[in-house]
């Protein structure tokens, strides 16, 4: 969504909050924009050869960088595994690898900064494959995908998304669901005056899960929301802790995945200040583009690292880099470069922690209605497990149809019962994951899936919500 319709009558508060939505002529019937998807890294990890039972497994990842080759960890008996090389900078090679204890899984190759390349993964427990290849920030590539992906984690291969079976294969996955707000409740709780907004959200989500049965949700972290600016890095009780509670609660629902989108952060840049509320149109910054070198010396990198640290082992989490970067005011090249850097930051932190690579969603241009510039050769995004997100009100088939790359529709709306039937038939045939806007009973965040009645328990579908609810229930598993 590009702008929130923020007209909300705050319960127990007599002041009416009114925030208007300024929408360009190209965006009709919504408070957001339409979008397309971009090209993924299609590599598959070249992990160590597995051993079976108690047989010897050949270990160690191989990392290449600067031309030299370093051989990874030692082989193990009966499932003993090795971790890949140590972290290398400037493209220099990683060396060696030490064995894990008790047959623990091996982790991927070394990380090369600013162009270094690492490949492979160490041998995992009882002959299992190690986790996928390592990455280099801003230019290094990592080979990933199914090899070493634990059971239940999502990964990408070609133009598809899969859920891993933990044995070197997987099943094609399609997500269907809705967008939900963070504890700001689409600006209803704009001053964070509610005493337990996380519990309120969890109550709403419980009703959503039982009554609508989605298998995919998107929650937007709106931390640069005027007038209450929050951060994942400071004062955790204000925002990080309650939002972590909500996200962890979603993780308790079996086979449900969550797109955690960094919708806005004070470290972002490039917002569209012409067409309305700029909050939802930030571009991630880095140390060279940061808006404030004192407050944000590494730009948005620190926030991505902190999010990885919070959800490193959360198999249900997909990371969304931003919302609709720059509106329509930035070049494709500028957006692609920032997206590539941000994915690299996430990959480097995952490799440092020795955890699997989460799927990461990158956004496009024109309020992320255009991602066609990612679907080129060579792919501007140099990392594994990337999906490409479009928004559309309503979305067009041309925007979301890119067979060579995995696409998700992160927001959609403004469909009638007739147009919805055509749209749903098409995305089902193409297995394109989709997330309707917006499940929010506290404030007008049009198009609303619910009647706005300021109740977390009396959730009444709108006409739009009834269309989406029927679709989700028809495909509930």
Helix (H) or strand (E) holding 92: none
Give the pLDDT mean for 112-121: 37
pLDDT at 129: 35
Instruction: Decide if pLDDT at 106 tops 50.
Output: no
pLDDT at 118: 37
Between CA 325 and CA 272 the distance in angstroms is 8
Domain boundaries, the chain: 8-41+172-474, 55-141
Confidence band of 104 (pLDDT split at 50, 70, 90) = very low
- Mean pLDDT is lowest, of 4-18, 213-227, 326-340, 426-440, for 4-18
Confidence band of 225 (pLDDT split at 50, 70, 90) = confident
Between CA 153 and CA 255 the distance in angstroms is 10
Domain 8-41+172-474 is classified in which CATH homologous superfamily? Glycosidases (3.20.20.80)
pLDDT at 138: 57
pLDDT at 139: 53
Distances (CA, A) of 121 to 71, 78, 80: 11, 18, 14
Contact between 127 and 97 (Cβ < 8 Å):
no
Answer with the residue of higher pLDDT: 133 or 257: 257
Nearest to 95 by CA among 79, 78, 77, 73: 73
For 377-409, how does the pLDDT look when each residue is reduced to its tens digit (9 = 90+)? 899 999 999 999 999 999 999 999 999 999 999
Cis? peptide before 164, omega within 30° of 0: no
pLDDT at 146: 64
Contact between 131 and 47 (Cβ < 8 Å):
yes
Give the pLDDT mean for 53-80: 35
Exposed / middle / buried, residue 228 (Cβ in 10 Å: 0-12, 13-18, 19+):
middle
CB atoms closer than 10 angstroms to residue 421: 13
Confidence band of 360 (pLDDT split at 50, 70, 90) = very high
The encoded tokens of residue 196 equal: 């337990």
Percentage of residues in the chain having pLDDT higher than 70: 69
Cis? peptide before 430, omega within 30° of 0: no
pLDDT at 400: 98
Give the pLDDT mean for 371-382: 95
Between CA 106 and CA 388 the distance in angstroms is 29
- Mean pLDDT is lowest, of 55-64, 195-204, 301-310, 467-476, for 55-64
Instruction: Decide if pLDDT at 36 tops 50.
Output: no
For 428-440, how does the pLDDT look when each residue is reduced to its tens digit (9 = 90+)? 999 999 999 999 9
Instruction: Decide if pLDDT at 375 tops 80.
Output: yes
pLDDT at 361: 99
Helix axes 301-310, 332-353, angle to 10 degrees: 40
Give the pLDDT mean for 455-471: 98
Nearest to 363 by CA among 133, 44, 29, 32: 32
- Mean pLDDT is lowest, of 49-63, 185-199, 335-349, for 49-63
Instruction: Decide if pLDDT at 416 tops 80.
Output: yes
pLDDT at 6: 38
Give the pLDDT mean for 226-250: 96
pLDDT at 145: 56
Percentage of residues in the chain having pLDDT higher than 90: 67
Mean pLDDT taken over the chain: 79
pLDDT at 137: 58
pLDDT at 148: 84
Nearest to 353 by CA among 131, 48, 63: 131
For 312-356, how does the pLDDT look when each residue is reduced to its tens digit (9 = 90+)? 999 999 999 999 999 999 999 999 999 999 999 999 999 999 999
Between CA 128 and CA 12 the distance in angstroms is 57
Answer with the residue of higher pLDDT: 111 or 407: 407
- Mean pLDDT is lowest, of 53-62, 279-288, 302-311, 342-351, for 53-62
- Mean pLDDT is lowest, of 15-24, 139-148, 198-207, 435-444, for 15-24
Instruction: Decide if pLDDT at 93 tops 90.
Output: no
Contact between 330 and 324 (Cβ < 8 Å):
no
The encoded tokens of residue 201 equal: 């959200």
Between CA 339 and CA 387 the distance in angstroms is 12
Give the pLDDT mean for 286-301: 98
Distances (CA, A) of 232 to 32, 217, 288: 25, 20, 21
Instruction: Decide if pLDDT at 456 tops 80.
Output: yes
Confidence band of 294 (pLDDT split at 50, 70, 90) = very high
Distances (CA, A) of 438 to 240, 258, 267, 422: 22, 15, 26, 20
């Amino acid at each position: 969504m590009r702008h929130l319709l923020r007209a909300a009558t705050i319960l127990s508060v007599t002041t009416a909050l009114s925030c208007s939505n300024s929408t360009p002529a190209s965006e009709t019937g919504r408070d957001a924009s339409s979008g397309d998807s971009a090209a993924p890294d299609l590599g598959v990890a070249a992990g160590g050869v597995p051993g079976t039972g108690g047989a010897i497994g050949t270990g160690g990842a191989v990392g290449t960088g600067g031309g030299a080759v370093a051989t990874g960890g030692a082989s193990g008996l009966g499932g003993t595994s090795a971790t890949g090389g140590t972290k290398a900078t400037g493209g220099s090679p990683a060396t060696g690898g030490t064995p894990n204890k008790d047959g623990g899984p091996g982790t991927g190759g070394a990380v090369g900064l600013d162009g270094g390349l690492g490949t492979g993964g160490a041998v995992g427990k009882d002959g299992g494959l190690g986790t996928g290849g390592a990455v280099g920030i801003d230019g290094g590539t990592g080979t990933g995908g199914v090899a070493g992906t634990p059971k239940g984690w999502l990964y990408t291969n070609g133009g598809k998304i899969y859920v891993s079976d933990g044995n070197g294969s997987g099943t094609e996955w399609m997500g269907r669901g809705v967008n939900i707000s963070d504890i700001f409740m689409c600006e209803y709780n704009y001053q964070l005056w509610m005493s337990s907004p996380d519990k309120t959200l969890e109550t709403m989500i419980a009703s959503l899960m039982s009554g609508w049965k989605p298998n995919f949700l998107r929650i937007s972290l709106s931390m640069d929301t005027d007038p209450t600016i929050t951060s994942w890095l400071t004062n955790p009780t204000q925002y990080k802790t309650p939002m972590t509670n909500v996200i962890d609660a979603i993780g308790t629902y079996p086979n449900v995945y969550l797109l955690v989108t960094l919708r806005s952060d004070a470290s972002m840049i490039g917002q569209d200040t012409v067409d309305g509320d700029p909050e939802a149109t930030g571009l991630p910054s880095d140390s060279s583009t940061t808006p404030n070198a004192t407050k944000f010396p590494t730009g948005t990198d620190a926030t991505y690292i902190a999010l990885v640290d919070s959800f490193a082992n959360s198999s249900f989490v997909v990371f969304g880099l931003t919302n609709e970067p720059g509106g329509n005011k930035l070049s494709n090249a500028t957006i692609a470069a920032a997206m590539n850097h941000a994915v690299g930051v996430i990959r480097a932190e995952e490799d440092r922690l020795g955890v699997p690579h989460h799927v990461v969603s990158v956004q496009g241009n024109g309020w992320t209605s255009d991602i066609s510039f990612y679907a080129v050769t060579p792919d501007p995004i140099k990392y594994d497990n990337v999906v490409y997100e479009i928004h559309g009100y309503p979305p067009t088939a041309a925007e979301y149809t890119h067979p060579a790359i995995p696409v998700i529709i992160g927001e959609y709306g403004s469909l009638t019962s007739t147009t919805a039937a055509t749209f749903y038939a098409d995305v089902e045939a193409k297995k394109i994951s989709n997330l309707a806007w917006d499940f929010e009973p506290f404030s007008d965040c049009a198009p609303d899936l619910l009647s706005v009645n300021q109740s977390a328990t009396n959730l009444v579908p709108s006409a739009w919500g009834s269309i989406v609810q029927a679709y989700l229930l028809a495909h509930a598993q």
